Structure 1
Amino acid sequence: MRSPFHLVEVSPWPIFCSVSAVCVVVGFVDWISGNSFCLMICSIGLLVLVLFQWWRDVIRESDQGWHTSFVAKNIRLGMVLFIMSEIMFFLGFFLGFFSSSLVAGIEGGAVWPPVGIVSLNPFSVPLLNTSVLLGSGVSVTWAHHALVAGNRNEVLWGLYFTVFLGLYFTVLQVFEYFECSFTIADGVYGSLFYVMTGFHGVHVIIGNVMLMVCLWRCFNFEFSSERHLGLEVSVWYWHFVDVVWIFLFLCVYWWGG
């Protein structure tokens, strides 16, 4: 009798993904510190390549019939637990931000932002980024509901808009970094700002790649109104990215600035 559960084979992708993710972080810090961004770009390319290979294997398992209802249920649970771990990850940064801002240290003039820091105007590029990301949340929800209703054309258009808005957000974030008057080495404010927004930017890039994969699969008729687990968990992840950015905008850009 066949078991409803799937025992995955040995895979090299988890360790490769971890190493490439660490390299992305190191490259980002190196770039923000005023050095070349070559390491960051190469690391992002390596991370995308590893994720492509990993998702390719998962899609093959699905096509071979291994993703039964029991497996799909566990994948959804795993995604929920992963998002919860990500929430705790960002919560640590927010706690550090409020700990530093509510009781400002004397080395920064006992004020927040510290003396010498010219914070960004929250109602310029950050507000535009907020509207872009919220718009992408609407379009990806539209795509999800259209897939459940069996309307493939609307699914494609919804994913097109979402991927475009995600890329636009990333471009705006990079230009914002170039316009900043402070760096990651400028005290606790610079460190917290770049680490919090930078990690969120990495999550946006990963979420965008996930949606690109879903767009490609939908274009090749690999999703149906009953079987679209990949798109479903990608939509969850994208909404998580949206919510984190709202808190970043309100706390770091608006209140913290």
Structure 2
Amino acid sequence: MAHAHGEYYQPQPSYWPLIASFALFSMAASFTAYLNGVEIGKYLLIAAIGVLFFMMYGWFREVIRESEAGLYNEQVDRSFRWGMIWFIISEIFFFAAFFGALYYTRDLTLPWLLGEGAKGVAHTFLWPEFTEVWPTNGPQSVGGEFETMAAWGIPAINTLILLTSGVTVTWAHWGLKKDNRQQLIIGLFLTVALGFTFVGLQIYEYGHAMDELNLRFSSGIYGSLFYMLTGFHGFHVTVGSIMLLVVLFRSLAGHFTPKHHFAFEGVAWYWHFVDVVWLGLFIFVYWL
């Protein structure tokens, strides 16, 4: 059991970070193997995701028990807040790398291949017959012919869903600060429902993209970036929805007070971050 000594909090040694690292590494390795044609990779990926959810269950349970036992003080609260802030900052850079790849490919590389700019002379040697514009699927259409996903269909609906979920989670937060537990629970329920609805629509969108538009990972750099950006975002929405579901169950159990509810605030920060990333995806991947 962890111990609190005045202003200094000493947690017990934990194996959960090790399990989390193993799960994340296994997910990356198995997914990479699957993309390279290793059939067992998809089964290993499912197993790794299962380990990740097991870790979340175990680690959440441990932290909740310590919190409800009164072991956390102001020093712990500050530590949690800074930890969540740095985590979200790391996520910003994670998505910035993929947005940067999209910008580099579409706004810099394509003009060079068309012979524009100081580096445009290279197109004579690298790809002299290049005449396509964005999106491109490589020399001689090596990725196959495909269509892009229209912005004003499911993506627009999902945008409305996430923006609405940002309102409902904020409304739930107001209810908690006013000690209105009914408003808190209704707001959280609506947010969770909207989050999982978003994921369900995105799964349907992927099926439509692959079966009817022939848009796949192999569809050139556009296909790769499309699935990496939207797929990782969908994974973040899934994790965020699960965390909101945990917060909902805790609220039903009577946890949290108007002055002590960082677990709710931390998940709300994460959810607003997911909303902002999706707006960037909708504008730069679907719309432009």
Assess same fold via TM > 0.5: yes
Q: Give distance in 2, aligned partners of 1:27 and 1:205.
A: 19
Q: Which runs of 5+ in 1 are unaligned?
A: none
Q: Give distance in 2, aligned partners of 1:51 and 1:88.
A: 23
Q: Give distance in 2, aligned partners of 1:124 and 1:35.
A: 33
Which of 11-20 and 157-166 deviates more?
11-20
**1:46 deviation in Å?**
2.3
- Select 1:13's aligned residue among 16, 20, 31: 16
**1:43 deviation in Å?**
3.0
Q: Give distance in 2, aligned partners of 1:133 and 1:211.
A: 14
**1:210 deviation in Å?**
0.8
- Select 2:241's aligned residue among 175, 184, 208: 208
Deviations 1:182-213 (A, max 9, x none): 11122211111111111111111111111011
Q: Give distance in 2, aligned partners of 1:237 and 1:76.
A: 12
Which of 230-239 and 44-53 deviates more?
44-53
Q: Give distance in 1, aligned partners of 2:167 and 2:50.
A: 28
Structure 2 letter corresponding to 1:210:
M
**Cα 1:110–1:236 shift into 2, 3 Å:** same
CA contact (8 A) 2:98 2:225 kept: yes
Greater Rg by CA: 2
3-state SS in 2 of match to 1:6: strand
**1:110 deviation in Å?**
4.4
3-state SS in 2 of match to 1:222: coil
Q: How does 1:50-61 map to 2 (within 5 A)?
A: 50-61=55-66
**1:35 deviation in Å?**
6.2
- 1:89 aligns with 94
Q: Give distance in 1, aligned partners of 2:206 and 2:226.
A: 10
CA contact (8 A) 1:33 1:183 kept: no
- 2:180 aligns with 151
Alignment partner of 1:99 is 2:112: no
**1:111 deviation in Å?**
1.3
Which of 86-95 and 45-54 deviates more?
45-54
Q: Give distance in 1, aligned partners of 2:180 and 2:228.
A: 40
CA contact (8 A) 1:32 1:184 kept: no
Q: Give distance in 2, aligned partners of 1:26 and 1:167.
A: 27
CA contact (8 A) 1:139 1:162 kept: yes
CA contact (8 A) 2:9 2:75 kept: no
Q: Give distance in 2, aligned partners of 1:140 and 1:183.
A: 34
**1:161 deviation in Å?**
0.5
Q: How does 1:113-124 map to 2 (within 5 A)?
A: 113-114=135-136, 116-124=145-153
Greater RCO, 1 or 2 (C-alpha within 8 Å, sep 6+): 1
**1:40 deviation in Å?**
4.0
- 2:7 aligns with 4
Alignment partner of 1:45 is 2:44: no
**1:104 deviation in Å?**
4.1
Structure 1 vs Structure 2 CA RMSD: 2.2
- 2:265 aligns with 232
Structure 2 letter corresponding to 1:150:
D
Q: Which runs of 5+ in 2 are unaligned?
A: 114-126, 138-144
Alignment partner of 1:138 is 2:160: no
Q: Give distance in 1, aligned partners of 2:163 and 2:88.
A: 19
Which of 96-105 and 34-43 deviates more?
34-43
- 1:247 aligns with 280
- Select 2:256's aligned residue among 223, 231, 234: 223
Structure 2 letter corresponding to 1:83:
I
Q: TM-score, normalised by structure 1?
A: 0.91
3-state SS in 2 of match to 1:119: coil
Q: TM-score, normalised by structure 2?
A: 0.82
CA contact (8 A) 2:27 2:49 kept: yes
